[in-house]
Amino acid sequence: MFKKIGAVILLVRDMKQSTEFYRDVLGMQLKHESEDWVELFKGTSTVLALHPARKTPNTHKRSGMLVGLYVSDLDDVCRQLEKKKVKFYKKQTDETFGKHAIIEDPDGHLISLVELSSREELSQIPYYHGFAPV
């Protein structure tokens, strides 16, 4: 049906603030930038796209969508993010699949950070659900 995910699109209140968060705080690379569309990436061809949200009462509610990012050293990443005053939705925990934390971007979008455990352990897990916020 499809070969890969091309983009995860987030509707944001402030394009400048969100671009700075993903680029400067999380270290993503800017691929494209215009007034109403920004694409960022890190290590793959899949992009994180930012687009202005419409001014509606529901704009500020969580959409139920989150972005999942794999990291190689979650301890270090969490220390860096705490220094940058990033809001944690879920502090770092040890899970069956590895280490896990969830942060929030300036619009309250949840970003799941996962440091996976060894492949041998992962082969025992029938379904990976580490990005879920609960």
Do 13 and 70 share a structural domain?
Answer: no
Query: What is the predicted pLDDT for the residue at 123?
Result: 46
Do 5 and 37 share a structural domain?
Answer: yes
For residue 57, the 8-state DSSP code is G
Expressed in angstroms, the distance from the first to the final Cα of the chain is 30
pLDDT of 28 over the 70 cut: yes
Residue with more model confidence, 113 or 45: 113
Residue 78: give its domain's CATH number: 3.30.720.110
* Highest mean pLDDT (candidates 25-34, 36-45, 106-115): 25-34
Question: Which runs of E-coded beta strand occur in 4-129?
Answer: 7-12, 29-34, 37-41, 47-52, 66-70, 88-95, 98-104, 110-116
| CA 32 to chain centroid | 18
3-state secondary structure of 132: coil
Q: How many domains does the chain have?
A: 2
Residue with more model confidence, 129 or 106: 106
Do 89 and 27 share a structural domain?
Answer: no
pTM: 0.68
Q: CA angle at residue 8 from 98 to 82, to 5 degrees?
A: 50
Measuring CA to CA, which residue among 73, 77, 21, 27 is closest to residue 50?
21
Give a yes or no: residue 59 inside a domain. Answer: no
Do 50 and 71 share a structural domain?
Answer: no
For residue 22, the 8-state DSSP code is I
Do 75 and 132 share a structural domain?
Answer: yes
- State which residues form the domain around 32: 1-54
Say which amino acid occupies 132. A
| Overall average pLDDT of the 17-27 stretch | 96
Give a yes or no: residue 111 inside a domain. Answer: yes
